[in-house]
Amino acid sequence: MVSLIDLNDFDLVDVENVLDRAIDIKKNVGDFSKSMVGKIMGSLFLEPSTRTQFSFQAAMMRLGGQFLGFSDPQKSSFAKGESFRDTLKIMGIYSDLLVIRHRKDGAARAASMFAGCPVINAGDGVHLHPTQTLVDLLTIRQLKGGCCGLTFGFCGDLKFGRPVNSLVRMLCRYGNNRFVFVSTKEQQISKFLRGFLEERKIGFVECGSLEEVISSLDVLYMTRVQRERFKNPVDYENQKGRFRLNKKVLGAAKSDLVVLHPLPRNDEIDCEVDSDGRAAYFLQAENGIYGRMALILQLFDEFKGRVDDCFGDAKIFNRVCLNENCITRFEVDLPQFFSEKNGYLNCSYCDESQVL
């Protein structure tokens, strides 16, 4: 595997290798300053980003490489009607590695078909955010000594938050972890994540009050209500501000709780929590650089000019993906890859399933 579209495409030992490498880099970042000299990273951010975008760019620069790209598609030939396919092809010619964030589910997997170089998924719609997960795992490992045998609370917008989909699926692979999902009824975990957990018979608790469960948690992962994903602004207004971590709520938590948040935050964590020793979200953002430096090095070690479309055993079926936000519903001529399992077809881009 030479692209990172979904961490579940990788063996756990490969993921652990990236984390080990990140820890080495963090100890002595200067030792790696010439590792990517002469290499160019294409940075395509078609959705807003501060941490992911700039930590990737900082990572490439700290490795001695350079980057090019855009964060506003209106300043690229997308604005002239150029297709996703052609843009990716061209950017892949100009770069040695592409990092892409896109508002459509499955866009990163589609990008890997056209780029001709390693592609990293920096967030595809409401689907996945694997590099955030690497950074989350790195931070959990640093503060908890490992990622097994812990009780994780996820709170806020669990329906649209892609970091939650990615992280929970990885944590299941570490074993012996417990999951508590705190949200409103409307913002419960995605159908995709629920299906993943149920298929593997992994138990979880769902509840509507952070106060009720905070004392049982080892790690609390707060998330923002994703305003940009709501079709109706009134629905967003009804959901925002429903969960709020402040000193009072934190008062009932374990003394060694780790509070994470992928950021940006709105009002779900009060600033007064920032000075509490349990707040780890700025450390998490800092770890973004080291995790991404390690990932870039790892993909280059493995790449060696090999082109990989990342579709594994999937086959082409004459079906339309049922997910209205799937990249295949917008980009014409994308072969409709599905994998077949237990009488269901699973879209290889966005993971939406339908009956065979």
Binding site for ligand NCD (CB under 6 A): 51-52, 123, 129, 132, 162-163, 224, 226, 262-263
Q: H-helix or E-strand containing 84? A: helix 84-94
Start-to-end Cα distance in the chain: 28
- Do 52 and 128 meet the contact criterion of CB atoms below 8 Å apart? no
Q: Do 211 and 245 touch, CB atoms closer than 8 A?
A: no
Element (H, E) at 209: none
- Closer residue to ligand NCD (CB): 92 or 288: 288
Nearer to ligand NCD, 129 or 329 (CB): 129
Which residues are 124's β-sheet partners? 102, 128
Q: What is the nearest approach in angstroms of ligand NCD to the Cβ of residue 228?
A: 9
Residue type, 282: F
**Residues counted in the chain:** 356
The DSSP element (H or E) to which 35 belongs, if any, is: none
CB of 156 to ligand NCD, least distance (A): 9
Q: How far is the CB of 224 from ligand NCD (least distance, A)?
A: 4
For residue 226, which of 158, 280, 314, 166 has the smallest C-alpha distance? 158
Per DSSP, the three-state class of 40 is strand
Q: Quick one: 209 or 266, whose CB is closer to ligand NCD?
A: 266
Least separation in angstroms between residue 226's CB and ligand NCD is 6
167 or 263: CB nearest ligand NCD: 263
| 48 vs 312 by CB, closer to ligand NCD | 48
Name the residue nearer to ligand NCD (CB basis): 18 or 345.
Answer: 18
For residues 229-254, b (16+ Cβ closer than 10 Å) or e, as one string? bbeeeeebeebbebbbbeeebbeebe
Whole-angstrom distance, CA of residue 80 vs CA of residue 227? 28
Query: Closer CB to ligand NCD, residue 132 or residue 325?
Result: 132
Question: In the bound complex, what is the minimum distance in angstroms from residue 76's beta carbon to ligand NCD?
Answer: 20
Question: What is the smallest separation between the CB atom of 340 and ligand NCD, expressed in angstroms?
Answer: 30
Nearest approach, Cβ of 41 to ligand NCD (angstroms)?
Answer: 17
CA 300, CA 304: separation in Å to the nearest integer?
A: 7
Which residue is nearest to ligand NCD, using beta carbons? 262
The CA distance from 347 to 356, in Å, is: 11
